[in-house]
Amino acid sequence: MRRGIWALVVLLFLVLLSGCQEKVTPEERLAEYVKHWNKAEFAEMYSNYLNKETKNTFNTEDFVDRQEKLYGDLGIKDVEVSYKKTSKDKEWDVEKPATFPIQVKMETIAGPVEFEHKITLVNETREDSENWYVEWNPSFIFPELAKGDAIRIQTSKSLRGEILDRNGLPIAINGTGYEIGIVPEKLTDENNKVKLADLLGISTETIDKQLNQGWVKPNLFVPVGYVAKSNTELLDQIAQLAGVTRMDTAMREYPYGEALSHLSGYIGDITGEQLEKWAKEGYTESDTVGRQGLELLLEKRLRGTDGTRIYIDKAVEGIEPITIADKPAVHGETVRLTIDAELQKLTYDSMKGEAGTSAAVNPETGETLALVSSPGFNPTEFMLGMSGDKLKELSENPLNPLFNRFKTSYAPGSAIKPVTAAIGLAAGTLNPAEGRTINGETWQKDASWGDYRVTRVHPEAPNPIDLNKAMVYSDNIYFAQEALDMGREQLVEGLTGYGFGEEIPFAYGMKTSQISNEGTISSEGQLADTSFGQGQMLTNILHLASMYEVFLNDGTMYKPTLFLDEEKAQVWKEGLVNAEQATTLRTSMRNVVVDGFAQAANLPNVPLAGKTGTAELKAAGEEGGKQNGFFVTYNSEDPQFILAMMIESVEDNDGSAYVAERVSNIFKYDY
């Protein structure tokens, strides 16, 4: 009897205790639900927070799997769900639904999405316990979404930006080419397949693989390769093959081909290294990117951003699709260069495929008008995918067409003599009117020089040798003696003032010009050699052209620019010579052409002025050897541009006079 009484007492106590405990409010349940929602914990939301009716209507695949997939496909992130809180003393009726206004924000691949909604919780008893549960339907994913509707993604392709010259002429543009293919039923001669493979630089196995795809039918066009529309010779050969045809297709075009190849570069499939580097910026393994030259340098500016539209495809027939978010495609930037493409082509053609480099600058602005590396290559061949045999052929070509010569530096030879003279004039150690008596072909200061002697090419030059004669006859002994009077420190300081040893302030990375390997001059012999551009001196071709601005601008050299939107006439160096000294140097450089050994450049209608140079490239004690020829020139009456050209291996071709002839051809044309 007593045990029964005690059991009744305990039961009454538990009932009383449960009655005293506060029940969970719908707002508290909503707060928990929203917390899980913001973390995309859909399984938890489905299991513990949805009401019975919702679960009867939507299974876990409808709720959990679908939302997880949508978050991945639509790139949904940064989800922020909030609701309007009620007052603390709010009383809730378990017999009535509790409704709250909510706000949903998120980011998607098509941009931000934001909407307001109302969410309802109902009180339900489960396993003898009451609680509030959410009434859910697909409109909580997107308001316009209903059961049976489909969410679609539509992509609009962006266009890669184009590269144009200063006059708007195309350097790298979005043009067209041809997709080459086979119509199987018309390919009656198997030999044509072999011929086509050979012409396209692919294997017959590659063609067979394309023809054996599941979708292929006898009358359908089956693509097997691509050809640029500029490759008319190849297109004509392909046109002779029965069963082979072509279709227009979008294709990057490089209208100036080899002439601008090292500058423009080319595009191609993204490399593994590039993908690893740029993956965080949205690049994928299917992207086409810049692989060399400006296409690579300007990749971030040229790259477009594809557009994306997220929309609901309604299950009810006749209702138009509803757009959820729409990010339009953004095309890449069009970049205008300071380069004059016609001058570039004229310069390249004048070099006739010989190994060398050229640069042209506007002396009034520092703008780069031409930047040539010869020989070049066909950018389109690299873009479309070059065969191993063709790549081997280019790589083994002794002229090395894949080597970019305008980026590197070379011994300038006598082309540097106007700079040496300018340094002496500015330092006051060189008197242009004072002549030196120089006899013989070679000279050394004294016996301390051992076997080293300075050699001049024209010992017939009449004494006395002043600055003008030294320039006209390109007298190495004169410049060596002036350098000795000047001293090592003065010459090094002077050359440093012209930018030697300093990074060239140019958008396209160039090799720094150097006085020597160490940046110093360690002996009198090296001092002599350096004065006429030998020894360890190396100069970049663009820098060399820019240095000649000093003689036209009375001592000022501008930073070389490459992009048309860059500030013009940015002073790089100034005060290097005064107006009188500049006039003296200009006069001598005109006389180099009129009276000296650049007669090929002595044109009847274009008064050129400049300086030739021949750099000896041989080991110490070696006789003969390779020679690189230079000529730097401008129209002395109308100096629209300074042009510097270097051609390799001119030792058997009349030396620098040959280069002067190549350059003079450029000035014969009104480009």
Domain boundaries, the chain: 23-147, 163-327, 342-389+401-667
Run of H or E including 14: helix 2-20
**CATH, domain 342-389+401-667, list 2.160.20.60, 2.20.25.240, 3.40.710.10, 3.30.2350.10:** 3.40.710.10
- The token pair at 642 is 């300074």
**What pLDDT score was predicted for residue 546?**
98
The C-alpha atoms of residue 125 and residue 31 are separated, in whole angstroms, by: 20
Q: Is the dihedral of CA 582, 587, 592, 596 positive or negative?
A: negative
**What pLDDT score was predicted for residue 368?**
98
Closest CA to 453 of 303, 329, 319, 621: 621
Q: Is the dihedral of CA 106, 111, 115, 120 positive or negative?
A: negative
Domain with residues 163-327, CATH architecture: 2-Layer Sandwich (3.30)
**What pLDDT score was predicted for residue 22?**
66
- Topology of 23-147 in CATH? Nuclear Transport Factor 2; Chain: A, (3.10.450)
Run of H or E including 206: helix 204-211
Catalytic site residue 414? yes
Closest CA to 68 of 49, 46, 52, 51: 46
Instruction: Give the number of other CB atoms < 10 A from CB of residue 160.
Output: 22
Placement of tokens 């008008």 in the chain: 369
The C-alpha atoms of residue 531 and residue 630 are separated, in whole angstroms, by: 16
**Within 13 Å, how many C-alpha atoms sit on residue 578's CB side?**
5
pLDDT-flagged residues of the chain (< 70): 1-22, 618-624, 670-671
Closest CA to 405 of 483, 366, 348, 330: 348
Q: What is the DSSP string of 101-135?
A: EEEEEEEETTEEEEEEEEEEEEEEEETTEEEEEEE
Closest CA to 597 of 639, 654, 640: 654
Check: CB of residue 660 under 8 Å from CB of residue 598.
yes
The C-alpha atoms of residue 158 and residue 52 are separated, in whole angstroms, by: 47
The C-alpha atoms of residue 298 and residue 384 are separated, in whole angstroms, by: 20
The C-alpha atoms of residue 578 and residue 432 are separated, in whole angstroms, by: 14
- The token pair at 475 is 């007298």
Tell me phi and psi for residue 374, to 5 degrees: -125, 140
pTM for this model (two decimals): 0.87
Residue ranges of the alpha helices (H) in 498-643?
524-531, 541-547, 549-552, 579-594
Q: What is the DSSP string of 363-395?
A: TTT-BEEEEEEES---HHHHHH---HHHHHHHH
Q: Residue 624, by phi and psi: left (phi above 0), alpha (psi -120 to 50) or beta?
A: left
Longest CA span, the chain = 146
CA distances from 452 to 412, 488, 504, 529, 616 (A): 20, 18, 33, 10, 15
Check: CB of residue 631 under 8 Å from CB of residue 611.
yes
Choose the catalytic residue: 264, 373, 414, 516.
414
Closest CA to 153 of 71, 73, 79: 73
Output the CA angle 572-498-357, nearest 5 degrees: 95
Placement of tokens 């002067």 in the chain: 660
**What pLDDT score was predicted for residue 620?**
46
